[in-house]
Amino acid sequence: MPPPQTRPRPAAPESGRARHRAVALLTAAAPALGAYAAVRAVGLVVFLVAASAAGKDPARLLGGRWDSVWYQRIAEHGYGYTVTLPDGGVHSDLAFFPLLPVLERGLAAVGPLTLQGAGIALAWLAGLLAAWGIHAVGTEIRGRRTGIVLAALWGAYPTAFVQSMAYTETLFTALAAWSLHAVLRGRWTTAGALCVFAGLTRPSAAALIAALTVTAAVTLVREYRLGGGERLLRRNAHMVLGVFLAPLGWLAYVVFVGVREGGPLAYFQVQAQWGNSIDGGRALAGFILGLPWPAVLGLCAALGLLGWLVFLCVRQRQPLPVLVYGIAIVVISLIGSGYFGSRPRLMMPAFPLLLPPAAALAGPRATARTVTVVAVLALGSAAYGAWTLLGPGPP
C-alpha cells in the first residue's frame, strides 16, 4: 500500500514572518529595556518626591518649560513666532526642527493627551526605542551582555533626566541608534531613511550624516584599491542610495528656512541670533577661563575624562560608523558658542562613548559589581536631575 500523501504547508505570509521577527527582537531586548526602565524609574521617583516636597507641578517641569514650550507652540500654531529680547536680539522658532512638533500634534489629535502630555509621552516612548537601538548596537559590536549594560548606562547618564522631558534628544538618539545598527547589518537604504528623520529632528544629525558618508567613502576607496573599480558603484548601489538619502531631511529644513527668510544662510543666521554659532571652541575656552580656579580644575578634569573615553573608543576599535558618529557628536557639542550648561545634554546622544565602560562591566562574573555600579550611577543621575529640574535654568 502506498504511503499516504501529505500536503505541503503553505508558506507563512510575509506579514507573519515580519511579526515573528519583531517579537523575537523584542524578546531578546527585554532585559535591556527592563534595565533601562528600572534606571529611569529611579530618576522619576526621586524627581517626583523632590517636586512634591517643593510644591511644584511635575508635568510642567517635564513638559512645560524652556525648549518644550517652543516645540508645543510650533505644534499648535506652526512656525512664525519670535521673541525680541531687551538687548534687541531676536529669538525665532525657526531654530527648532519640525519632527517632534509634528508628532506631538498628531498624537494629541488622536487621543486624550494635551500637547504637553503628548510631548512627555513621546519622550518616554522614544527613550525605550533608543535603549532598544543602543542595546542592538552594543550587542552587534560586543555581545548581548554589553548591549544590556550599555542601555542601562545610557539611562544613568548625568543628564538622563532630559530623556523624560519633552525634548528631542531621545527621539534623535533612537533614530541614530537604529540607523547605525542598520549600517552594521549592511541595510544602507534603511540607515539612510532613518537618517532623513534624524535630520528633521536635530541639527546634530550632521554627525550621523558624517558617519554614513565617511563609512561609505572608506568602503568604496578600499574596494577600488583592491582592484574592484569595475562596476564599483553598481555593486554598492544600496550604500550609495543610503548616503544620498542621509542628508535630505537636514537639508530640507535648512532650505525651508532659507526660502521662508529669503536667504540661503538664513538658518545659520537664526541660530546665531540664539547664540549658537560655530566658533571652534572659543566660547568654551572663555567660559572656563572665567571660572574660579577650583571650578576650572574640576571642569578640566571632566573634559579630560571625556577625552579618555574617546581614546578608549578608538582603542576598542569600534566600527567606523559608530566611532565617527560618537566623536562627531562630541565635537559638535564643544565647538559651538551656545549656553555652556547645555553641552552635557547635547552630548547625551553620543552613546558609543559608554561602550568601553559597558564592556568592562559586562564580564560573565561581574553581575554584582555591575548592578552596584549602575545603581550608584542611577542614584547620582536622579539626584542631579531633580536638582536641575527644580532649578531656574534650562538643562
CB-based burial label for 262 (10 Å; 0-12, 13-18, 19+): exposed
CB 71 within 8 A of CB 101: yes
| pLDDT tens digit sequence for 101-116 | 999 999 999 989 999 9
pTM comes to 0.94
**Three cell numbers at 373?**
555600579
DSSP type of residue 142: H
What pLDDT is stored for residue 129 in this prediction?
Answer: 97
- Percentages of the chain per state (helix, strand, coil), in multiples of 5: 75, 0, 25
Distance (Å, whole) CA 318 – CA 313: 6
Low-confidence ranges of the chain (pLDDT < 50): 1-6, 11
- Residue 362 contacts residue 143 (beta carbons within 8 Å): yes
Q: State residue 6's pLDDT score.
A: 44
| DSSP alpha helix (H) spans, the chain | 14-54, 58-63, 67-77, 99-110, 115-142, 144-155, 169-184, 188-199, 205-225, 232-235, 237-245, 248-261, 266-273, 282-289, 293-315, 320-334, 343-347, 355-361, 367-389
Q: Map grid coordinates 508628532 to a residue.
A: 103
Name the grid cell of 43: 530618576
Q: Determine the residue type at 336.
A: G
- pLDDT, tens digit (0-9, with 9 covering 90-100), for 255-293: 999 999 999 999 999 999 998 888 888 888 888 888 889
What element of type H or E holds 83? strand 82-84
Q: What is the pLDDT of residue 109?
A: 96
Q: 45: part of which helix (H) or strand (E)? A: helix 14-54
